[in-house]
Structure formats: structure tokens, C-alpha cells
């Protein structure tokens, strides 16, 4: 059978490996860090850095297709891998999503709404951006941010200097603060044949920049429910995308505003594991392996809750709750703010 190469051995790589294994496929993980969560379930693991040319060549030669669980893979490594094997989702999706300014330029180019934004490189460009966008606003690093890291709110122009210092000289983006009534996300998939499928939109609650819960169905007017799926499809089609993508949206009186896109399976799609026949992980593997997309119809209401840091102490109680499906990532060390697992609370109608 085929072997799927996965860049990144975190929990997303782990759950992709489980899905691939269920379809009779093999997985080979490439991960610089020791003892990755995906290592316990994959068929093979390469522990090497992204600048190790020999390791990249050998990895690519051992797999049939390459995918990834995170978008910040160095460009040189991608070039090297792509000389041997196809990478799905493709390079354009990575190029666009690795940089928040490039991403917003792409989205506005598709006539989609984003927060007002401007690139910020120094005190002068921040001053100009604050004059154009106003406060409250958020200064974010253009690259490498996740779980709200590398972000600082600016409530008034006098906070500009301290906010800029937080960027540590990295290129940044100033975003106007969106006064949303809710955050929702669409987990959409596109097959190699161009077919598009989307899971029901989920409603997301964040605390301290980290996703806490996703509730499905989302409280969303029917009109916006359709719009959410249509705009996600527009993004996937424009990128000639193959695989699953997470599209994060703000709900506002002016309609849906795109926060960001993630060219991979997404934390806010974990609920699909226990409320759909085919979940986001199988859907992604199907797409990258060139299979037809599966049926992602939802058959139950569900609340996904992330188990972060010491939340792990609640596992014995959750394990006794018949409505709870537990997903633990097998991470050896508990750290504050670290995603250790999640629980899907399934509500049968
Ligand atoms: P992720 O882990 O989802 O990749 P991230 O570090 O890329 O997170 P964002 O999604 O940009 O961060 O922001 C995290 C959260 O902060 C958002 O889900 C939202 O709650 C809030 N937020 C970000 N940008 C804005 C904005 N322009 N207006 C209002 N709230 C915002
Ligand atoms: Mg992000
Ligand atoms: Mg986000």
C-alpha cells in the first residue's frame, strides 16, 4: 500500500497517522524533536532537522506523497522535498498562510472581508498604521504565531512603543480590533478531483489566546451558515487546494470576517471525530492520497473541550462520563498552556 509522509509529529500528526492506519495506509513522520506524540502510532519516524538534506532526501524517497501538520516549514526544506514527491496541500497554500500580511492580501484579493490591517516594521510604520486603523487594535508577528503568542493589544496610541518592543524586531502586522458577536470556523476539504466538502461550522471560544471549546451546531443565522461554506470553498478553489483547511471567522453585523486560515487539519475540527462518519483526519488523508472525499455529515450535537495543562487531572472523572469521548496525546510532560488532549461531549438528540 501507499505511504503518507507527514511533516510534524505533534497531536495533529498523531491523529492523521491513526486515520491513515485505519485506511490501510502507512505513515512516516518527519520531526526534529525527540519523542513526538505521533511517534507511537506511525509506522516510521525520522528524527532530523529541516536543514538536514540527506534526511529530507531519504524521507521523501520512502513515501508516496507528503503532507504536514503545521504551516511553518522552512521553504528550503519544502523545495528539497518537492524535488522528489508531490506536497499536498500545495506550496501556494503554504506561501499564503505563512505570513499574516500575505494571507490578508490574498483574502482581500478574493473580495473577502478581513480586519483592517497594515504591515509594521518600525516605530514610523506603526504610527502611520495606528493613524489609519485606530484603537483598539492588535499588533501581531507576521510569521510563526500560534495560540495567541506574539500578539499584543494596543488600547491607545501611547502604548505603541511597548507593543512594538514585544515584537522583538520581527516583522509585524497591525489589525483593527473586530467587535465580533461570535467566532466560528469552517473545516473544509478539497479532493484531488476538485470536489469540495465542508463540515458544519463550529463555534469557538478562546481563553488567553488558546482555543478552549468548539460547539456544534454554532449559533449562526442560516444565511451566514451558507455564506461560511461558500467563502471557504472560494478559498480552497483559488488555491487549487488538496486536503483539509481550517477557516477561522468572526461573526459581525457586517457579515463574516475572515480571521485566518490554516492549511491543515485544525483544532476546531476535532469534534468531527465523534459526530461524523468521516472525520477531518480521514478526510485529509483521503484527499492527499487521491481518494474520493468521504461523507462528513454530522449525526450528533457535540462540544469539544481542549484539555490544557493541569486539565489532565480531570481525566479520571471524564473517563467515567458516558457522554465523553476522550482523546489523549500521550505527551510525557505536562506544561501550563500545553494541549494534552481533548474531550468530545456527544449530545444525542
Ligand atoms: P491559532 O492558535 O488559532 O493559530 P493565532 O496565534 O494565529 O492562533 P489568532 O487566531 O490571530 O492567533 O488570534 C487568536 C484569537 O485572538 C482569535 O481567535 C480572536 O479571539 C482574537 N483575535 C485575533 N485577532 C483579532 C482581531 N483582529 N479582532 C478581534 N479579536 C482578535
Ligand atoms: Mg493562527
Ligand atoms: Mg487563530
CATH code of the domain occupying 116-176: 3.30.1490.20
CA of 209 to the centre of ligand 1 (A): 7
Percent of the chain exceeding pLDDT 90 equals 99
pLDDT for res 214: 99
**3-87 and 182-347 have identical folds:** no
CB 84 within 8 A of CB 60: yes
CA of 146 to the centre of ligand 1 (A): 9
Q: How confident is the model at residue 348 (pLDDT cuts 50, 70, 90)?
A: confident
Q: Ligand 1: list residues with CB < 6 Å.
A: 115, 138, 145-149, 175, 177-178, 183, 206, 209, 248, 259-260
pLDDT for res 349: 67
CB 106 within 8 A of CB 139: no
**In the Cβ-directed half-sphere of 78, how many Cα atoms lie within 13 Å?**
19
Q: Counting atoms of ligand 1 from 1, which one is nearest the CA of 179?
A: 29
* Nearest to 20, CA basis, from 299, 270, 288: 288
ipTM value for the complex: 0.99
Q: What is the mean pLDDT of residues 28-43?
A: 96
From CA 205, how far away is CA 262, in angstroms rounded?
Answer: 17
Cβ neighbours for 34, distance < 8 A, ≥ 6 positions apart: 47
CB 113 within 8 A of CB 139: no
The CATH homologous superfamily of the domain defined by 182-347? ATP-grasp fold, B domain (3.30.470.20)
Long-range contacts of 79-85 (CB under 8 A, 24+ apart): 80/53, 80/56, 81/5, 81/7, 81/56, 84/57, 84/60, 85/5, 85/60
Domain 3-87, what fold?
Answer: Rossmann fold (3.40.50)
Local structure of 105: helix, strand or coil: helix
From CA 277, how far away is CA 273, in angstroms rounded?
Answer: 8
Tell me: the pLDDT tens digits for 123-142? 999 999 999 999 999 999 99
Tell me: the pLDDT tens digits for 223-277? 999 999 999 999 999 999 999 999 999 999 999 999 999 999 999 999 999 999 9
pLDDT for res 224: 97
Q: What is the mean pLDDT of residues 318-333?
A: 96
Which residues carry a binding-site annotation for ATP?
100, 140, 145-151, 175-178, 183, 206, 259-260
Q: Counting atoms of ligand 1 from 1, which one is nearest the CA of 175?
A: 27
Write out the DSSP string of 139-156: EEESSS--TTTTEEEESS
CA of 259 to the centre of ligand 1 (A): 7
Locus of grid cell 492527499: 288
What mean pLDDT, rounded, does the chain reach?
97
Percent of the chain exceeding pLDDT 70 equals 99
Q: How confident is the model at residue 44 (pLDDT cuts 50, 70, 90)?
A: very high
pLDDT for res 332: 87
Q: Note the Cα 59 to chain centre separation in Å.
A: 24
Tell me: the pLDDT tens digits for 75-120? 999 999 999 999 999 999 999 999 999 999 999 999 999 999 999 9
Stated pTM of the model: 0.97
What are 312's three cell numbers?
Answer: 489532565
Q: What is the mean pLDDT of residues 146-157?
A: 95
Could you say which ligand is closest to the alpha carbon of residue 138?
Answer: 1
From CA 295, how far away is CA 282, in angstroms rounded?
Answer: 10
CA of 299 to the centre of ligand 2 (A): 29
Ligand 2 being an ion, which residues bring their Cβ within 5 A of it?
A: 260
Domain ranges within the chain, ordered by starting residue = 3-87, 116-176, 182-347
CB 115 within 8 A of CB 156: no
Q: Counting atoms of ligand 1 from 1, which one is nearest the CA of 115?
A: 27
Amino acid at each position: 500500500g501507499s505511504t503518507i509522509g507527514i511533516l510534524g509529529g505533534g497531536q495533529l500528526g498523531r491523529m492523521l497517522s491513526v486515520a491513515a492506519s485505519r485506511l490501510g495506509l502507512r505513515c512516516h513522520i518527519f520531526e526534529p524533536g525527540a519523542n513526538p506524540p505521533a511517534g507511537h502510532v506511525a509506522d516510521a519516524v525520522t528524527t532530523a532537522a529541516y536543514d538536514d538534506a540527506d534526511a529530507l532526501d531519504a524521507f521523501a524517497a520512502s513515501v508516496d506523497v507528503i503532507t504536514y501538520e503545521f504551516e511553518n516549514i522552512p521553504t528550503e526544506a519544502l523545495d528539497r522535498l518537492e524535488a522528489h514527491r508531490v506536497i499536498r496541500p500545495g506550496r501556494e497554500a503554504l506561501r499564503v498562510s505563512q505570513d499574516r500580511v500575505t494571507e490578508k492580501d490574498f483574502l482581500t484579493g478574493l473580495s473577502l472581508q478581513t480586519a483592517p490591517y497594515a504591515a509594521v516594521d518600525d516605530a514610523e510604520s506603526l504610527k502611520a498604521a495606528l493613524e489609519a486603523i485606530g484603537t483598539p487594535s492588535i499588533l501581531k508577528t507576521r510569521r510563526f504565531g500560534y495560540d495567541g503568542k506574539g500578539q499584543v493589544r494596543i488600547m491607545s496610541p501611547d502604548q505603541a512603543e511597548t507593543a512594538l518592543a514585544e515584537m522583538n524586531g520581527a516583522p509585524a502586522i497591525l489589525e483593527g480590533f473586530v467587535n465580533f458577536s461570535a467566532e466560528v470556523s469552517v473545516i473544509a476539504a478539497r479532493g484531488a478531483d476538485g470536489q469540495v466538502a465542508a463540515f458544519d461550522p463550529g463555534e469557538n471560544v478562546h481563553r488567553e489566546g488558546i482555543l478552549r471549546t468548539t460547539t456544534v451546531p454554532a449559533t449562526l443565522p442560516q444565511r451566514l451558515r451558507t455564506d461560511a461554506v461558500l467563502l471557504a470553498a472560494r478559498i480552497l478553489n483559488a488555491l487549487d487546494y488538496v486536503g483539509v483547511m481550517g477557516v477561522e471567522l468572526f461573526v459581525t453585523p457586517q457579515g463574516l470576517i475572515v480571521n485566518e486560515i490554516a492549511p491543515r487539519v485544525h483544532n476546531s475540527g476535532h469534534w468531527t471525530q465523534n459526530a461524523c462518519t468521516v472525520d477531518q483526519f480521514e478526510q485529509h488523508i483521503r484527499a492527499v492520497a487521491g481518494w474520493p472525499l468521504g461523507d462528513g455529515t454530522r449525526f450528533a450535537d457535540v462540544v469539544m473541550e481542549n484539555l490544557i495543562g493541569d486539565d489532565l487531572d480531570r481525566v479520571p472523572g471524564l473517563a467515567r462520563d458516558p457522554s465523553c469521548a476522550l482523546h489523549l496525546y500521550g505527551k510525557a510532560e505536562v506544561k501550563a498552556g500545553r494541549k494534552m488532549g481533548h474531550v468530545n461531549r456527544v449530545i444525542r438528540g
